[in-house]
Structure 1
């Protein structure tokens, strides 16, 4: 079968492939030869994928122990191939069934992952269980689970902004180095590597080598030591898709660009017999070469196959070649990894006769595998210190405060992985990982948090639109500019601009008051102009424009990643002008002075805002207008909302509640609740319901139908809704219970959630909707 490339990878793949082609053309080393043996210990350490250590790379001439007894030394060579690489697990299963010993392993890209896991003692069955739970989203999603984001980064999700963010520097606008940072991928790699810490790969249960590519020199780089998970990460850093890894001043990317089948590396390890597993990538047919991306992909495949052919040509008569018949299975189809395992098994069994002479007697093989699979218990010894790579903008005290791991406490890998996700979730880093360094009498946790090279200022854009195909429509363009780390406490200045039906400008200076950023002060200015339509039934009676200017000052506290509480004062003016309709519906007498005490409680534990599957979120707001603060009117407006989601498989049910009311004096005409529209009493026009208090509930069901290239998900669902608008502006408007519902098809698109829906109210009104954005 053929799976499409995930949209984020495909968009950036063109530039990546062109870069890779240049590397392949300019590579100075023959792919089947031993790379340059010059040590890198003289290079200055840099924010890196692993702690620096002498002779960790480019030392292929170092040979492991000679073969046991008189039998030949057998080395397994595993090629790269992306998602096709899970076929290597099937090959390993057959090798074990046939009792073929493996004395050393050399791997590239996905081959380095499977080979590295096997070298540490992980069985093929364990690997199969691990990969069965993986997917493109779990491996390559750009940011960690949403629950690990800071509150401010969670709040960004409620505005329909596109990704990626654009860096703003004096030299111009910049984009990230890769489509994904690799933080999610590295969590999986650490599971494969089992034990953190710097290791000599000749001392693993099975000696091991991994191949990466020096992005600057265009030459292969062979690792014989290091943090195993980080070495794997470097070996499969596809340029343009996964951000490059940095080690001792070298920028490293996928090893497949220069040595996709590292036969020469295995020879340097002392191999007498090589079992080479070549996954290959089939060339596209003429009719598939219809785009620039297709042609460039073909060019990369041709260049990669050239270095593989050189490796294949170096195989001798005693060596065994296994080539799984993967057909057109996509190298990017990580949603169906296990589908290639049986194909790998079948390919290995085809050469069983050639493998049989290499087999050991049952007792001897069982003894060998028992020794290779002996797993040491997790090393939970405390670290004596935590060291961060040099940071230029982010306060190191903030970075260490985010982490739960502390010196002197037992080391827990799950906690460390979560610490890395939390650091990345602050939005300040483009790559985060760690390593353990052992020094005489001292154990050090080295955290490599690499600040965004395109920061510290960021620009994002978005849009929102809605139409019922009968004249009720709006279109809004959105822009957000964020300046970060303006001082050592992490001050942030954010300005949001919206133009369209609603025009607004909000600019806030967010100043934390302590290093951990639990407390803050936030002055803010808000300008807004928006129309308000007044209906009687489904007939529009009047329209008036509201123009608002407010200046506010909030103080508050963040509850780590769970929520935020704000209290503040606000003052300003509001101009309400009747555009059409009778004077009796005018919202007020010209300019209105405003002054209030405000409060807001926000909490958020949703896994997604666009199409949540699990979790909850909500808010409570209070606006207490006070003449003592300069307001013309005295009233209190309170409102709250709650959203809860739960899923079983691809089926999701969410419950949404919203309520608003006045406390004491009735709300003035210019500050009423406005409701109606898709999923906000479907079947009614947008903002059709206008009144002094609101109660609303909805139950939404949706089923995820499919994943596609440019669409992260396709959903079909329905909603059941009920609400009431009390104290309506127009006398005679309905005040009883209003019932409605909708049927919809939704797309999780790069532009945001896109809905096509039919909504109908019990009163008989109905609407068709095209909606882009986040309803409720």
Structure 2
């Protein structure tokens, strides 16, 4: 996929990525998934999913990952620097599938990296870091179409505890909850949901921040422009299919839509709190042979506005 955002102030973000999944590697149905993304947010992730029994209920999933992204440091609600954050690591999960649509995982992971000042006061320190954590993750997905969902729900809950016993520089806890639910009537669809993430203890802000910003992720901000150790986002998305359903095997529908969003980002040290921000967007989407193509215009009550283009998943 491809995503591009521009905030009309000379700042833009661009990413291009692809994924590859190899199924049926062995008799138990092992799978190998690899994702690669290049651009402002660079990522390489590779996981081997290995069922432990013939029913494919229990599984193990080792993974390797590397990522690089920009993270703003904010004090008194003003950016004072932008760090280039690099992180490399690995993990191992043990999990079980729940019915046909859910799974639960428990695992451990370790990561290390560095944060270098990219923009800002050159006297601000660069630093290295190490992380080690336990993770519990639950997911449930009945969405009928990941690109333009018409019905179903997508739920995710992730709990992490960073622990010095696993090599982490700091001990702290984080959790994040995500929800999207789609309801349709005729050609019209409503998707409502959001995200809520918390950091429960003191931690280095640059390495422990969640990200908001981007189309329907607090529209008006460019992609991942608003970091915070704690975030909240609620959103309501409406879209309507503008073309009739095709009786042919190939069907490339056109959609028009809009969103309303309300969100907040804040840190535990009280140096930054965005307050609640109201945002919205309008968009046109088209399902193409290469995936969904989506053009959006977003704005918010912080006088931020941006244009977005996505080729790939839109929500």
**Could you tell me how far 1:563 is from its partner in structure 2?**
1.1
- How far is the alpha carbon of 1:730 from its aligned partner? 8.9
Shift of 1:480: 3.1
Say whether 1:561 aligns with 2:104.
Answer: no
**1:619 Cα shift?**
0.4
Q: Cα deviations across residues 52-92 of structure 1 (Å, max 9, x unaligned)? A: xxxxxxxxxxxxxxxxxxxxxxxxxxxxxxxxxxxxxxxxx
1:495 CA displacement = 2.5
Which one of 757, 760, 769 corresponds to residue 299 of structure 2?
A: 760
Q: CA deviation at 1:590?
A: 2.3
Structure-2 residue corresponding to 1:186: none
Instruction: Choose which of 468, 471, 475 in structure 1 pairs with 2:6.
Output: 468
- Which residue, 209, 219, 223 being the options, matches 1:682? 219
Q: Which residue of 2 aligns with 1:504?
A: 43
Specify the alignment match of 1:149 in structure 2.
none
1:722 aligns with 2:262: yes
Aligned-pair distance for 1:766? Answer: 2.1
More strand by share: 2
Larger gyration radius, structure 1 or structure 2: 1
Q: Which moved more, 1:478-487 or 1:530-539?
A: 530-539
Matches within 5 A, 1:343-362: none
Q: Provide the residue aligned with 2:155 in structure 1.
A: 618
Displacement, 1:742? 1.3
Output the CA distance in 2 between the equivalents of 1:485 and 1:774: 25
Structure 2, unpaired ranges of 5+: none
Runs of 5+ consecutive residues of structure 1 not aligned to the other structure:
1-462
* 1:713 maps onto 2:250 in alignment: no
- Gap change, CA 1:583 and 1:620, over 3 Å in 2: farther
The 8 Å contact of residues 188 and 240 in structure 2, kept in 1 or not, is answered as yes
Q: Aligned equivalents of 1:668 and 1:649: distance in 2? A: 46
Partner of 1:544: 83
Partners of 1:584 and 1:677 in 2: CA distance: 31
SS in 2 for 1:665: coil
Deviations 1:523-579 (A, max 9, x none): 111111222244679976432211111111100001132111110011121211111
CA distance in 2, matches of 1:726, 1:771: 28
- Distance across 1 between alignment mates of 2:301 and 2:21: 45
Q: Which residues of 2 match residues 608-687 of structure 1 at below 5 A?
A: 608-666=145-203, 668-687=205-224
- For the residue of structure 2 that corresponds to 1:670, the secondary structure is coil
Distance 1:522 1:673, change over 3 A: same
1:636–1:667 contact (8 Å) kept in structure 2: no
Q: SS where residue 671 of structure 1 aligns? A: coil
Check conservation: 1:564, 1:603, Cα contact below 8 A.
yes
Q: Which has the higher helix share?
A: 1
1:607 offset after TM fit, Å? 0.9
Asked if the contact 1:637–1:663 (Cα under 8 Å) also holds between the matched residues in 2, the reply is yes
- What is the distance in 2 between the residues matched to 1:537 and 1:464? 34
Runs of 4+ in 1 over 4 A off after TM superposition: 534-541, 583-586, 707-711
Normalised to the residue count of structure 1, the TM-score between the two structures is 0.38
Of 652-661 and 746-755, the range deviating more from structure 2: 746-755
DSSP 3-state at the match of 2:229:
strand
Q: Give CA deviations for 1:110-169 in whole Å, capped at 9, x if unaligned.
A: xxxxxxxxxxxxxxxxxxxxxxxxxxxxxxxxxxxxxxxxxxxxxxxxxxxxxxxxxxxx
Structure 1 residues 540 and 712, CA, compared in 2 at 3 Å: closer, same or farther? farther
* Contact preservation (8 Å) 1:740, 1:762: yes
8 Å Cα contact 2:234/2:261 also seen in 1: yes
Counterparts of 1:124-139 in structure 2, within 5 Å, are none
Q: 1:365-394, CA deviations, whole angstroms, 9 ceiling, x for partnerless residues?
A: xxxxxxxxxxxxxxxxxxxxxxxxxxxxxx
Corresponding residue of 1:746: 285
- Report if the CA contact (8 A) 1:658-1:697 is conserved: yes
CA 1:510–1:671: 2 relative to 1, 3 Å:
same
Q: Is the 8 A contact 2:178 2:196 kept in 1?
A: yes
Change (3 A) 1:513 1:668: same
3-state SS of paired residue (1:628)? helix
Aligned to 2:235: 698
CA apart distance, 1:583: 5.1
Instruction: State the match for 1:163 in structure 2.
Output: none
Separation in 1, partners of 2:48, 2:12: 33
2:207 alignment partner, SS class: helix
Aligned to 2:165, what secondary structure does the other structure show? helix
Q: Please report how far the alpha carbon of residue 688 of structure 1 lies from its aligned counterpart in structure 2 after TM superposition.
A: 2.6
CA distance in 2, matches of 1:696, 1:532: 19
Q: How does 1:448-597 map to 2 (within 5 A)?
A: 463-468=1-6, 470=8, 471-534=10-73, 541-582=80-121, 590-597=127-134
Q: Is 2:6–2:13's contact at 8 Å kept on the other side of the alignment?
A: no
Cα pair 2:161 2:173 within 8 Å, conserved:
yes
